[in-house]
Amino acid sequence: MSLLLATYRTATALAAPLIAQHLRGRLKRGKEDAARFAERLGQPGRERPDGPLAWVHAASVGESLTMMPLIEALTARHPGLNVLVTSGTVTSAGLLAERLPPGTLHQYVPVDRTPYVTAFLDHWRPDLALWAESEFWPNLLTLTEARGIPMALINGRVSPESFAKWRRWPGLARTLIGCFRLCLAQAERDAERLRALGAKNVVAAGNLKFAVPPLPAADEAVAELDGALDGRPRWLAASTHPGEEEMIWAAHAIAAERHPGLITIIVPRHPERGPAVAAELEALGATVARRGAGQPIAAGTQVYVADTIGEMGLFFRTAPVSFMGKSLVDLGGQNPIEPARLGSAILFGPHMWNFPDVTDELVAADAAETVENPAELGARVAALLADEDLRKSRAERALACADAHAAVLGHVLGHLEPMIADALRAGAAP
């Protein structure tokens, strides 16, 4: 065990009262599920089913959506394989409850303290662990690996910022990433960084986000929202983060000069921010309606804050132009493949380092556009709303980019099959 890992384990043991206090605070703020809070402490909410069990871990909503095609394929191809999915947020749990295949189990991932992780592993005894993207919790990884449970990193990515941080602790990075017997990276640049950090069996298998089907929306809901908008020009700011809403409002003011009656739909990445976002915009002079509060879109509404869960497919279908949030602030951007699948012309800010290969491909194909600031955003929204042919051609090229990666799920499954076969044999053994 490396010195840093030993220090981490000691710190998480000694910090038990502080961790408990932090969790109570999250519980009060609605960031934890009160009815299932014990799961975060490693206490099971379900019985373990008999037979082989694959544990799929996805941190939050984005990772959960990414892993869904893989989960569906595993359950369809291997009916005898039980699948347990863990995630760490209330929003992801709600999404998974709606979309997981029948018979698939969900639990909240335990907080990364040794007794919680040990209790979780004692109960579930997984025969295989599939880890999404970049969730490198030291106790969860090393305690799982110590039991001889085969682990694979799925859709692995390492951002430049994360890579620089891990390089400061090469021993710890090598220990954690070395827990994975197989690392399937999103792209070659991620594969190179994983190898540099100590991963041994690394393959650039492609980005599994391309395998995610279009986000769903009921036809009735689309028709209802379209009727409420009453033919007004509209655009969407999707998955925004603190600091962006003020910039979105500035862009709205610019675009509205060319498009009277313009309505801007803002979907905060975290719906619980809805009231604060509405209050901030109203203080800036905007007339706001909030979907989470059931407020209707009136003739004078300028901004519609859509602070709900699981409706992004509805808004991408309704908005002819979509700006991807988390990209005007330096946080790495949100997934542009989602609007690409739903016919909405795509804009994003300069900070898209969470999706570098997808971003580069879309821009190179003239299927999306980068804006540097609110003024550029407002100008490009206005231009796209005024040019239907440009919007349609952008949307068609974006869909073609997405469709070009249709084989990625098959690639991932092909690389995983030997580990899955081993898990099935191990789980079937007496």
- Give the CATH number for residue 87: 3.40.50.11720
Position 30 scores a pLDDT of 86
If you write DSSP's letter for every residue of 330-398 in order, what string do you get? TS----THHHHTTT-EEEE-S--TTSHHHHHHHHHTTSEEE--SHHHHHHHHHHHHH-HHHHHHHHHHH
H-helix or E-strand containing 303?
strand 303-305
Domain co-membership, 382 together with 412: no
If you write DSSP's letter for every residue of 146-159 in order, what string do you get? HTT--EEEEEE---
Averaged pLDDT for residues 15-26: 90
Residue 423 pLDDT exceeds 90: yes
DSSP state, 39?
Answer: G
Domain co-membership, 194 together with 257: no
Domain of residue 202 covers: 7-16+25-207+407-428
Domain co-membership, 231 together with 152: no
Number of domains in the chain: 2
If you write DSSP's letter for every residue of 232-269 in order, what string do you get? --EEEEEEE-TTTHHHHHHHHHHHHHHSTT-EEEEEES
* Percent of residues, the chain, with pLDDT higher than 90: 89
Domain co-membership, 186 together with 278: no
Residue 430 pLDDT exceeds 70: no
Averaged pLDDT for residues 212-232: 96
Position 3 scores a pLDDT of 81
Position 285 scores a pLDDT of 97
Averaged pLDDT for residues 321-341: 96
Active site residues: 63
CB 255, CB 285: distance < 8 Å: no
In a domain? residue 42: yes
In a domain? residue 1: no
Q: What is the dihedral angle through the alpha carbons of 136, 142, 145, 146, rounded to the nearest 10 degrees?
A: 180
Domain co-membership, 115 together with 134: yes
Q: What is the pLDDT of residues 302-318, one digit of tens each?
A: 999 999 988 999 999 99
In a domain? residue 117: yes
Residue 2 pLDDT exceeds 80: no
Domain co-membership, 98 together with 193: yes
Q: What is the pLDDT of residues 355-383, one digit of tens each?
A: 999 999 999 999 999 999 999 999 999 99
In a domain? residue 285: yes
Residue 269 pLDDT exceeds 70: yes
Q: What is the pLDDT of residues 154-167, one digit of tens each?
A: 999 998 889 999 99
In a domain? residue 170: yes
Domain co-membership, 380 together with 396: yes
Q: What is the pLDDT of residues 51-60, one digit of tens each?
A: 999 999 999 9
Domain co-membership, 395 together with 419: no
In a domain? residue 354: yes
CB 396, CB 368: distance < 8 Å: no
CATH assignment at residue 267: 3.40.50.2000
Residue 130, phi then psi, degrees to nearest 5:
-115, 115
Mean pLDDT, the chain, rounded, equals: 95
Domain co-membership, 399 together with 411: no
In a domain? residue 58: yes
Domain co-membership, 418 together with 378: no
Domain co-membership, 382 together with 424: no
Domain co-membership, 61 together with 154: yes
In a domain? residue 2: no
